[in-house]
Amino acid sequence: MTLVAFRNALGSCLGDKAFFLKVIGVLLLIACVETAVFWRFAAPAPQGQGEIAALSPEEAQEYVRNTTNLLIIDVRSHKEFADGHLVHAVNIPLYAFQRQVKNIPSNVPILLHCQYGYRALQAYKLLRRLRPDIHEVRYAAGQLACSFLR
């Protein structure tokens, strides 16, 4: 079927071009609204002045060594956690994170950690959205060295 034949068939189904343009306009409007809603509710809240939430593996290791009362949350699965994890880390898998976020204390610095950084980023976005009272939140954006795991 050629493009002209497809356009003619579509035009005969829709009636006229004005109706077709209205449908396209409504679809574009819906896409714009969905994008605005996504950025309003899915994007993380801004971090404090001058702070960067994402830490490289080297920065994350330094952050763990130098931060007192740090709560390390490992968002990998229970099996991955059992295979090796950071010392003193707490396991809250990403699939259960939304239900468990209310149990996270707000008065301690938090480091979110996973195998490669993607799940930690998702947990960071959830935590910033669901618990805006927690201000010191960082996540490891990359794989930490095996020697750093226990």
Q: For 41-109, give the DSSP string.
A: HTSPPPPSTT--SEE-HHHHHHHHHH-TT-EEEE-S-HHHHHH--BTT-EE--HHHHHHHGGGS-SSS-
Rounded to whole angstroms, the Cα distance separating 88 from 57 reads: 17
pLDDT of 70 over the 60 cut: yes
Q: pLDDT-derived band of residue 141, with 50, 70 and 90 as boundaries?
A: confident
Identify the H or E element spanning 72: strand 71-74
R_g (Cα) of the chain, nearest Å: 23
Q: pLDDT-derived band of residue 1, with 50, 70 and 90 as boundaries?
A: low
Tokens 């880390």 appear where? 89
The tens digit of pLDDT for each residue in 4-53 reads: 666 666 666 555 677 778 888 888 888 877 777 766 655 554 555 445 78
Q: Is the pTM of this model over 0.85?
A: no
Contact 116, 93 (CB under 8 A): no
Rounded to whole angstroms, the Cα distance separating 59 from 122 reads: 19
pLDDT of 132 over the 60 cut: yes
Indicate the range of 75-79, 83-87, 127-131, 143-147 predicted with least confidence.
143-147
Rounded to whole angstroms, the Cα distance separating 121 from 140 reads: 8
